[in-house]
Amino acid sequence: MKSIMDKKDGTCYLCRLLYGDHTQKTVQEHHIFYGTAKRKLSEKYGLKVYLCLYHHTGDIRGTKEAVHRNKEIADLLHREGQEAFIRMYPNLNFLKIFGKSWLSVEAITEIMMEEKTEADGQMAAVSEGIIWHEPLDGEIPF
């Protein structure tokens, strides 16, 4: 599945996120949740980003920020991935599917409330264009 988090445009997700660097680089696809079963779930739900070699596996400059060698960077992407999942699939249970949460209950609640507010706003906009009336006796209300 196509990524729900990133676009494949030759820029590195972490270079953009951490440094605001939008320069073109050689990038590799990174599944946010890896290991055989989790990698398949990442693919199924589009939880992947494109990373430069430095941020993916490390290069000759070192491996300080390589996601496969740095737990803090990996967990940053886990949190980003979980947030993207919640926003894209609000009716699915992330914890049940992936077996672990990287976000606090407060953070999850905030994301869900933001999404609910946005959805309510969209419904209000739609309803403004419709004339509502109470159904008359015997009238089918649709």
**Can you tell me which residue has the tokens 């320069």?**
23
Express as a percent the part of the chain with pLDDT over 70.
80
Residue 7 maps to a domain = no
Give the chain's domain count: 1
* Domain boundaries, position 42: 13-128
Dihedral sign from CA coordinates of 102, 15, 65, 5 = positive
| Residue 124, both tokens | 């209000």
Residue 6 maps to a domain = no
pLDDT tens, position by position, 1-38: 999 999 999 999 999 999 999 999 999 999 999 989 99
In this structure, the number of other CB atoms found within 10 A of the CB of residue 130 comes to 6
Q: State yes or no: pLDDT of 116 exceeds 90.
A: no
Residue 37 maps to a domain = yes
Q: State yes or no: pLDDT of 131 exceeds 50.
A: no
Q: Of 35, 136, 41, whose CA–CA distance to 98 is shortest?
A: 41
Length of the chain: 142
The rounded distance, in Å, linking the Cα atoms of 107 and 116 is 14
Residue 124 maps to a domain = yes
pTM of the model: 0.79
